[in-house]
């Protein structure tokens, strides 16, 4: 990991052509660009002069310890090999979509990234668009109600490719957005396509997806269209939203509070005027590049990490199978439908039935997940971890090695459990006295961090975004944002949402967020 407080992240861009030059510009403007590489001497020289950084050989970049990360914008067929080489050289990697052409190769890249502890991020650009981020917030808050249908059109006249068809060229962005909104992978994928300009390269495709919760979606892409259209429509049972990337900023995201009234047993549409959702006018690629730099500096998981890229690849692969005439069973299998879709479980780990495990979660060596456990999406369960029974773990949690979560423990989203931290289940255990009826519940609030070798005595809730110092013994409830240490643990300060200790001014040194105390043990964000 790069220490964010000691030195900036140094990034080299490999591939400076049609799209790579935009990465060069953004990383340079973010003061992170240290070098570029391109197999074309002419392109390399031009980008080197424009950005004011040296043009270097690929192996030279990988061998340089001062290069922290590599951004890859080569032809898609080279993504997998270049990403593997960069990871094994100890570099963090940002790679343009697709991560690889084969889902199995992409899964192997994710495993390599985990093994060498490097960030792996895929360039699914539209997930960083301010309009999509706001749309995601609307869906998460329930403003649209229960999702019913999503459809996306990505249409234009050209740019026609010869190394990839329209599905692989245009559709990954839309599939990525749809999977993010639904929060799941599809159960089935069906696709049709047509070739007009080349015998085997599809120019027009339509991909249809069905999800386990009843949501359906389709993606229509074409580079044989009379006008440009980039539109995502999301239909809920309370409202509808349209993300139109071709519209002016003031109209890029519109919310339609339409509803369906049932009158005399018949559905009647009740239309309402569209409401423009206010957005910040930030360049999506700049936000994407900054997100990568932040993840490298903080050691956090990118929003579009390698496993998110794998999920998109599985849908693309399933669509290709469907277009080639493979059976629906093959397409369903390629979409990743198993007992635990899109979950990595090491061969030495054991998962009992029934369990619910979200997509993108990794369960590593010798861990045991007992029955009736719920684990959210994109969690990392380290080695020799025991969870359950009847434990709930939220999305994005990281549980380090040698941790046991007993019955009654609930981790909300984004909780970090350091190595060998301990959760007790009864206050006065005896080997000879059965006390299972005395188990006390313990809830760890969103974003909290529990240090290595600390002990949480059962029955005491841990507040959101609090931080438990290594070796502390918690014997009382911990307030949100509190920093506690010692035996027994006592509050010694406050920490921000980002995890930085707050000084007397109560301003986060990392983000600039201002806080104020509203009571002896209560901290809140100061409204500007």
Determine the pLDDT at residue 8.
87
- The pair of structure tokens assigned to 438 is 């005395």
Mean pLDDT over 187-197 rounds to: 85
Output the CA torsion 359→363→368→371 (10° steps).
0
Indicate left, alpha or beta for 87 from its phi (over 0: left) and psi (-120 to 50: alpha).
alpha
CA distances from 200 to 161, 222, 317, 318 (A): 12, 15, 16, 17
Strand 253-256 to 275-276 pairing: antiparallel
Mean pLDDT over 214-222 rounds to: 92
Sign of the dihedral defined by the CA atoms of residues 476, 478, 484, 485, in that order = positive
CB 110 within 8 A of CB 342: no
Q: Residue 349 contacts by C-beta under 8 Å, 6 or more apart in sequence?
A: 363, 364, 365, 366, 367, 368, 369
Determine the pLDDT at residue 527.
60
pLDDT beyond 60 at 152: yes
CB 156 within 8 A of CB 225: yes
Mean pLDDT over 104-113 rounds to: 91
Of residues 232 and 228, which shows the higher confidence score? 232
Give exposure, 392-405, as e/b (b: 16+ Cβ within 10 Å): bbbbbbbbbbbbbb
Question: d(Cα 515, Cα 505) in Å, to the nearest integer?
Answer: 8
Q: What digits encode the pLDDT tens for the residues 270-324? A: 788 889 999 988 999 999 999 999 999 999 999 999 999 999 999 999 998 888 7
Indicate left, alpha or beta for 307 from its phi (over 0: left) and psi (-120 to 50: alpha).
alpha
Q: What digits encode the pLDDT tens for the residues 474-520? A: 999 999 999 999 999 999 999 999 899 999 999 998 888 899 998 88
CB 279 within 8 A of CB 252: yes
Mean pLDDT over 412-424 rounds to: 93
Determine the pLDDT at residue 336.
47
Determine the pLDDT at residue 81.
93
Determine the pLDDT at residue 491.
95
pLDDT beyond 80 at 247: yes
Question: d(Cα 309, Cα 165) in Å, to the nearest integer?
Answer: 18
Averaged pLDDT score across all residues of the chain:
88
**Position 7 confidence tier, pLDDT thresholds 50, 70, 90:** low
CB 35 within 8 A of CB 71: no
- The pair of structure tokens assigned to 466 is 């609090």
| Residue 202: exposure state from Cβ atoms within 10 A (0-12, 13-18, ≥19) | buried
Output the CA torsion 394→399→404→410 (10° steps).
-20
Q: What digits encode the pLDDT tens for the residues 68-97? A: 999 999 988 899 999 999 999 999 999 999
Determine the pLDDT at residue 4.
44
Determine the pLDDT at residue 76.
86
Determine the pLDDT at residue 198.
72
Determine the pLDDT at residue 199.
63
Determine the pLDDT at residue 2.
45
pLDDT beyond 80 at 528: no
CB 213 within 8 A of CB 356: no
CB 516 within 8 A of CB 526: yes
Question: d(Cα 112, Cα 89) in Å, to the nearest integer?
Answer: 11
Q: Residue 103 contacts by C-beta under 8 Å, 6 or more apart in sequence?
A: 310, 313, 314, 317, 334, 336
Question: d(Cα 401, Cα 261) in Å, to the nearest integer?
Answer: 53
Domains of the chain (ranges plus CATH)?
11-118 (3.40.50.720), 127-284+313-334 (3.30.360.10)
Determine the pLDDT at residue 156.
85
**Position 162 confidence tier, pLDDT thresholds 50, 70, 90:** low
Q: What digits encode the pLDDT tens for the residues 344-389? A: 888 888 998 888 898 889 998 899 999 889 999 889 999 899 998 8
Mean pLDDT over 37-60 rounds to: 93
Indicate left, alpha or beta for 90 from its phi (over 0: left) and psi (-120 to 50: alpha).
left
**Position 329 confidence tier, pLDDT thresholds 50, 70, 90:** very low
pLDDT beyond 60 at 333: no
pLDDT beyond 60 at 337: no
Q: Residue 5 contacts by C-beta under 8 Å, 6 or more apart in sequence?
A: none
**Position 225 confidence tier, pLDDT thresholds 50, 70, 90:** confident
pTM of the model as a whole = 0.65
Determine the pLDDT at residue 397.
94
Determine the pLDDT at residue 51.
92
């Amino acid at each position: 990991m790069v220490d964010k407080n000691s030195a900036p992240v140094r990034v080299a861009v490999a591939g400076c052509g049609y799209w790579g030059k935009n990465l060069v510009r953004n990383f340079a403007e973010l003061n992170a660009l240290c070098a570029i590489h391109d197999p074309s001497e002419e392109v390399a020289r031009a980008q080197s002069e424009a950005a004011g950084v040296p043009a270097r050989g690929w192996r030279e970049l990988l061998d340089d310890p001062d290069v922290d990360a590599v951004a890859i914008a080569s032809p898609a067929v080279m993504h997998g090999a270049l990403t593997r080489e960069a990871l094994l050289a100890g570099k963090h990697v940002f790679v343009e979509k697709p991560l690889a052409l084969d889902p199995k190769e992409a899964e192997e890249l994710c495993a390599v990234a985990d093994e060498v502890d490097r960030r792996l991020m895929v360039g699914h650009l539209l997930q960083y668009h301010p309009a999509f981020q706001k749309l995601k917030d609307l869906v998460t808050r329930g403003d649209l109600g229960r999702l019913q249908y999503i459809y996306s059109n990505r249409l234009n006249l050209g740019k026609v490719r010869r190394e990839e068809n329209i599905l692989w060229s245009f559709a990954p962005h839309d599939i990525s957005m749809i999977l993010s909104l639904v929060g799941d992978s599809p159960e089935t994928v069906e696709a049709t396509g047509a070739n007009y300009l080349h015998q085997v390269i599809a120019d027009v495709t339509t991909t249809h997806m069905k999800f386990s919760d009843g949501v359906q979606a389709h993606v229509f892409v074409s580079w044989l269209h009379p006008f440009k259209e980039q539109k995502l429509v999301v239909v809920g049972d309370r409202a509808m939203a349209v993300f139109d990337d071709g519209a002016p900023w003031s109209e890029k995201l519109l919310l339609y509070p339409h509803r369906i009234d049932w009158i005399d047993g018949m559905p009647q549409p009740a239309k309402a005027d569209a409401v423009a959702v206010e957005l910040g006018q930030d360049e999506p690629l700049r936000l994407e590049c900054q997100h990568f730099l932040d993840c490298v500096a903080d050691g956090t998981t990118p929003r579009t990490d390698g496993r998110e890229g794998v999920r998109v690849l599985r849908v693309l692969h399933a669509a290709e199978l469907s277009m080639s005439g493979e059976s629906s069973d093959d397409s369903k299998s390629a979409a990743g439908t198993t007992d635990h879709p899109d979950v990595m479980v090491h061969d030495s780990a054991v998962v009992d039935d029934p369990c619910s495990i979200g997509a993108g979660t990794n369960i590593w060596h010798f861990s045991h997940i007992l029955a009736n456990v719920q684990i959210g999406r994109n969690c990392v369960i380290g080695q020799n971890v025991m969870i359950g029974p009847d434990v709930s773990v939220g999305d994005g949690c990281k549980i380090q090695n040698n941790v046991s979560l007993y019955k009654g423990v609930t981790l909300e989203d984004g909780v970090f459990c350091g190595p060998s931290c301990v959760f007790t289940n009864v206050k006065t255990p005896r080997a000879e006295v059965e006390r299972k009826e005395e188990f006390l519940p313990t809830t760890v609030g969103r974003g909290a961090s529990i240090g290595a070798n600390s002990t949480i005595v059962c029955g005491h809730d841990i507040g959101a975004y609090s931080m438990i110092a290594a070796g502390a013994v918690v014997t009382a409830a911990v307030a949100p944002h509190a920093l506690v240490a010692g035996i027994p643990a006592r509050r010694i300060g406050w920490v921000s949402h980002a995890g930085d200790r707050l000084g007397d001014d109560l301003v986060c040194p990392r983000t600039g967020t201002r806080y104020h105390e509203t009571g002896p043990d209560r901290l809140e964000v100061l409204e500007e």
